[in-house]
Amino acid sequence: MGLASGAAVAETGQNGASLLQMCRGAGKVQVLSVMCHSYANGFIEATRFHAGNGAKPGRAFCLSEADHARLPGEIVTWLQAHPEQAKQPAAAVLNEVLVNRFPCKK
Protein backbone atom coordinates (compact mmCIF):
# COMPACT_ATOMS: atom_id res chain seq x y z
CA MET A 1 0.00 0.00 0.00
CA GLY A 2 1.42 3.39 -1.02
CA LEU A 3 1.50 6.61 0.92
CA ALA A 4 -1.50 8.92 0.61
CA SER A 5 -1.04 12.15 -1.27
CA GLY A 6 -0.65 15.39 0.66
CA ALA A 7 -4.11 16.52 -0.46
CA ALA A 8 -5.73 13.31 0.77
CA VAL A 9 -3.96 13.55 4.12
CA ALA A 10 -5.01 17.19 4.51
CA GLU A 11 -8.63 16.26 3.78
CA THR A 12 -8.72 13.51 6.41
CA GLY A 13 -6.57 15.20 9.06
CA GLN A 14 -7.46 17.87 11.59
CA ASN A 15 -8.21 21.36 10.31
CA GLY A 16 -8.67 24.75 11.91
CA ALA A 17 -12.37 24.12 12.55
CA SER A 18 -11.71 20.89 14.45
CA LEU A 19 -8.91 22.58 16.41
CA LEU A 20 -11.31 25.40 17.30
CA GLN A 21 -13.95 22.90 18.43
CA MET A 22 -11.49 21.06 20.67
CA CYS A 23 -9.98 24.16 22.22
CA ARG A 24 -13.23 26.13 22.57
CA GLY A 25 -14.58 23.46 24.93
CA ALA A 26 -11.30 22.96 26.80
CA GLY A 27 -12.43 25.00 29.81
CA LYS A 28 -15.71 23.10 30.15
CA VAL A 29 -15.16 19.51 29.04
CA GLN A 30 -12.16 17.56 30.36
CA VAL A 31 -11.90 15.36 27.26
CA LEU A 32 -11.73 18.41 24.97
CA SER A 33 -9.10 19.97 27.22
CA VAL A 34 -6.96 16.84 26.98
CA MET A 35 -7.44 16.70 23.20
CA CYS A 36 -6.55 20.37 22.69
CA HIS A 37 -3.49 20.26 24.94
CA SER A 38 -2.34 16.92 23.53
CA TYR A 39 -2.58 18.11 19.93
CA ALA A 40 -0.76 21.36 20.74
CA ASN A 41 1.92 19.66 22.85
CA GLY A 42 2.56 17.05 20.15
CA PHE A 43 2.95 19.77 17.53
CA ILE A 44 5.25 21.82 19.78
CA GLU A 45 7.41 18.81 20.62
CA ALA A 46 7.73 17.78 16.97
CA THR A 47 8.57 21.34 15.93
CA ARG A 48 11.27 21.62 18.58
CA PHE A 49 12.67 18.22 17.63
CA HIS A 50 12.98 19.18 13.98
CA ALA A 51 14.41 22.60 14.84
CA GLY A 52 17.00 20.89 17.02
CA ASN A 53 17.98 18.68 14.10
CA GLY A 54 18.78 21.51 11.74
CA ALA A 55 15.37 22.06 10.11
CA LYS A 56 15.44 25.81 10.78
CA PRO A 57 17.85 28.06 12.62
CA GLY A 58 16.44 29.77 15.69
CA ARG A 59 13.08 29.33 17.33
CA ALA A 60 9.86 30.59 15.82
CA PHE A 61 7.96 30.65 19.14
CA CYS A 62 8.66 30.45 22.87
CA LEU A 63 6.24 29.27 25.55
CA SER A 64 6.52 29.36 29.33
CA GLU A 65 4.62 26.97 31.60
CA ALA A 66 1.98 29.69 32.09
CA ASP A 67 1.69 30.07 28.32
CA HIS A 68 0.90 26.37 27.95
CA ALA A 69 -2.06 26.78 30.31
CA ARG A 70 -3.54 29.66 28.32
CA LEU A 71 -2.82 28.18 24.88
CA PRO A 72 -6.38 26.85 24.25
CA GLY A 73 -7.81 30.33 24.79
CA GLU A 74 -5.23 31.87 22.49
CA ILE A 75 -6.07 29.33 19.78
CA VAL A 76 -9.78 30.15 20.06
CA THR A 77 -9.18 33.92 20.04
CA TRP A 78 -6.89 33.71 17.02
CA LEU A 79 -9.24 31.46 15.04
CA GLN A 80 -12.23 33.67 15.81
CA ALA A 81 -10.25 36.64 14.47
CA HIS A 82 -9.20 34.62 11.38
CA PRO A 83 -12.24 32.51 10.39
CA GLU A 84 -10.80 32.01 6.90
CA GLN A 85 -8.26 29.66 8.51
CA ALA A 86 -10.94 27.10 9.50
CA LYS A 87 -10.29 24.93 6.43
CA GLN A 88 -6.50 25.05 6.71
CA PRO A 89 -4.62 22.09 8.21
CA ALA A 90 -4.60 22.29 12.01
CA ALA A 91 -0.79 22.14 12.10
CA ALA A 92 -0.54 25.22 9.87
CA VAL A 93 -3.10 27.06 12.00
CA LEU A 94 -1.37 26.12 15.24
CA ASN A 95 1.97 27.26 13.84
CA GLU A 96 0.45 30.66 12.99
CA VAL A 97 -1.04 30.98 16.48
CA LEU A 98 2.26 30.10 18.15
CA VAL A 99 4.39 32.39 15.98
CA ASN A 100 1.99 35.33 16.32
CA ARG A 101 0.94 34.96 19.97
CA PHE A 102 4.16 33.59 21.50
CA PRO A 103 7.12 35.04 19.59
CA CYS A 104 10.58 34.65 21.09
CA LYS A 105 12.12 37.79 22.51
CA LYS A 106 15.17 38.85 20.58
Confirm if 27 and 33 have CB atoms less than 8 A apart: yes
3 phi/psi in degrees, rounded to 5? -75, 145
pLDDT in tens, 44-80: 998 888 776 554 555 678 888 889 899 999 999 999 9
List the end-to-end C-alpha distance of the chain, in Å, as a whole number.
47
The verdict on residue 33 lying in a domain is yes
User: Do the beta carbons of residue 40 and residue 27 sit within 8 Å?
Assistant: no
Q: Domain for residue 6, yes or no?
A: no
Whether pTM exceeds 0.95: no
CATH at residue 83 = 1.10.890
Considering the chain, what percentage of its residues have pLDDT values greater than 70?
Answer: 80
Asked whether the predicted pLDDT for residue 4 surpasses 70, the reply is no
Is 71 within 8 Å of 40 (Cβ atoms)? yes
Please give the residue range of the domain that contains residue 45.
13-101
Give the tens place of pLDDT for each residue, 7-54: 443 456 889 999 999 999 888 899 999 999 999 999 999 888 877 655
Residue 2 located in a structural domain: no
- 79 in a structural domain: yes
Q: How confident is the model at residue 6 (pLDDT cuts 50, 70, 90)?
A: very low
